[in-house]
Structure 1
Amino acid sequence: MRSRVPQIIVSILLGIMLLFCQMTPGLASTLEQKKEELSKVNNQLKERRQQLRENEKKQQDIVKELDSIERDIAQISSDLESYEQDLSRLQQSIAELEPVLQEKEEALKKKTETLNQRLRDIYMKGNLSYLEVLVGSTSMSDFLTRLDFLRRLMENDAKLVRETTAERDELARQKRELEEKKEQVVSLKRATELKRNTLAARSQEREETLKRLQADKAACERAIRELEESSRKLTQIIQQYQSKNPNPSPPQGNGSMIWPAAGPITSGYGMRWHPIYGTYSMHTGIDIGAPHGAPVKAADGGTVIYVGWMGGYGNTVIVDHGGGISTLYAHLSGFAVSAGSNVSQGQVIAYVGSTGNSTGPHLHFEVRINGYHTNPLAYL
């Protein structure tokens, strides 16, 4: 829908040009006959302008969406880095623990074999082995020595049982810990893969959003070019009028223009960043800040050669001052004159507004020499 609006505007401009080219000196009466048709066209354009404003709002939403995606990507990247660090630490811990467990398992296996052998010996010989040692003593000293040996042997057997049991329990605990770490690795790998996929999806979404924004940007740049085309059409309208009216009727300009509206300059003449489209383009006049409905006065005396809608300029009035000089007043909220009227310097011709491509109430004022824009400050 957005791409059709400039085409409609250009078509209307061409129709208006043909109208002016074919008009006789009875310009005002001819324009009256076209008012009804122009009113219908303006109603259609009102709908299209609303669609344009909605598209501009969508562009702002896209910028916010892009900012949100960028923050999500940054957070996911940070989480992914943290997961990968945790995964690396776990894998390192597993790599260190596995050989230690293997050594402990081998040592436990040997102790278990020793313990099993002792248990078999005890089972086979029973308590006789201890009695034989005691009975076979040759003296009291030998008896005490043998008794101490038996006590130590029993303590070693008990210690071996305790150590073997404790080591078996510890080995089982470490094995469980190892299995838990392996499960954590599997879980982290899944989480990492999920984060990678999420990041890839968000990155793809970011790319698509960027493409949409760039497409809208291209559309805006096309709109700027079409506005420049509108400016060229304005030049043609002025030049054609001036060629058909080389000696315009009085009142004529006095050569010293007055300010068309009371207020400060909010944007000067020359190259600038467009406040709506964000493109670097030529500003063909000056913007004068003023409240909505404030009077707009003719900068000099002359003949009104255009009153109506002019694309991105919105509601526009053009006054020819003779000698190839004309002035343009744009973004108006309403008109106080009609095409073909003669106006004097300082006469109210329109009212400040924000129609067309405008971010708020102001007057866009141009001075044109033979249809070509020039710096208005040189004439004010």
Structure 2
Amino acid sequence: MPNQAQSSNFKVLIFGFWILFGFYQGSVALGATPDELRQSIEEKSKGLQAINDQIRNTQKQLDETQTQKNSLQKELKKIDYTISQLNLSIKSGQITVEKYGLELQSLQYDIDKLKNEIETKRLAITKLLQELYQKSRETLLVTFLKNRSLAQAISENQNIANLNNGLSTELGELKELRLQLDENFHSVSAKKGGIERENLNLRNRKNIVETTKSDRQSILSQTKNQEKLYASLIDSLAKKQADISAEIETIEKELRSKIDPSLLPIPRPGVLAMPVSGILSQNYGYTAFAKYGYKGRFHNGVDFAAPTGTEVRVADSGTVIATGNQDQFCYRGAYGKFIVVQHENNLTTLYAHLSGQAVKKGDIVNRGQLIGYVGSTGYATGPHLHLTVYAGPTFYMGASRVCGPMPFGGDLDPSKYL
């Protein structure tokens, strides 16, 4: 009689096999061949490299203008370089979206290939399971009795052992194929997310271009394209910047004395994530620039130089408690467009001189989430992100004497937390 326990176990095994290694459906019709796709992807990569070279070259030209004497023509040239750089970033984003699309098509080929390999393995395993099932119905005694010799019986049992070994190998290879398929599905999800992110950046950067063009026109209107009027504007601006920096330092010096370290996280790297991909251009404290650039002679954060339109990401999860544009109250006098985020660890972070904001007051943000774009609004000699880290309990939004709503707080050295 058949071994009922063995028969039942094989039925369970077969059923579990079909559930565990179920075949994915949903292949799509594709246009270009895999080789054509690889070639197109390579061309897009070369195009991106060329544009990035142009962006760096434009940044170099922008940096060179900083050494020139203040003039209306210098200011207009800076704006023109910024617009050119933004347009290059937009072109880069468009090519990146196209590249992601090609990579998705290429991944679909890989997925379809893996599906076919998985199906072939499934059929082979099914056949092995059927053979083992048939042989398992015979007891060891029946196997010996139905063969003419002991050698044949031993050979028959060896065949069963070989089938088991083959089954184990096939199952292992099938599992590996399934893992590869899951990795490809994960890559597809990541590419789709990349397309969404780039499309968002494209929309926002196009808005930044229009705003920058409006700023250029505003300067021309105020100065009537005359150097003399521009020089007068700069003199008035310098006095306003000095007053504002002195006001900030007077208030924040007192607030620094009220910081309670026991309420704050222990200073160590990684408490906060780097908010931008850029170069550290100014440290915290009594820096060389602060000694002549600020009346208070103190820099309450760190600066990261980066091209206008570069993504700014929140340093830690939290809640957006303030956003604003101080250029509406004191053009180029203070932080310009800014965002303030309150974190659960009693730190509060300020992101300033932005060209664009991607969040609003009340938004809940996650560590590393896009919140804005590097710019040179407010008191900025060039495009950069200014990051201030406050002791949360000391922070507040107050009324400046000359620049509308102003963030104030006991500031900390950001480098101790980044």
Q: Same fold per TM (> 0.5)?
A: no
- TM-score scaled by length of structure 2: 0.34
Instruction: Give the structure with the larger helix fraction.
Output: 1
Larger CA Rg, structure 1 vs 2 = 1
Structure number with the bigger relative contact order (C-alpha 8 A, sep ≥ 6) is 1
- TM-score scaled by length of structure 1: 0.37
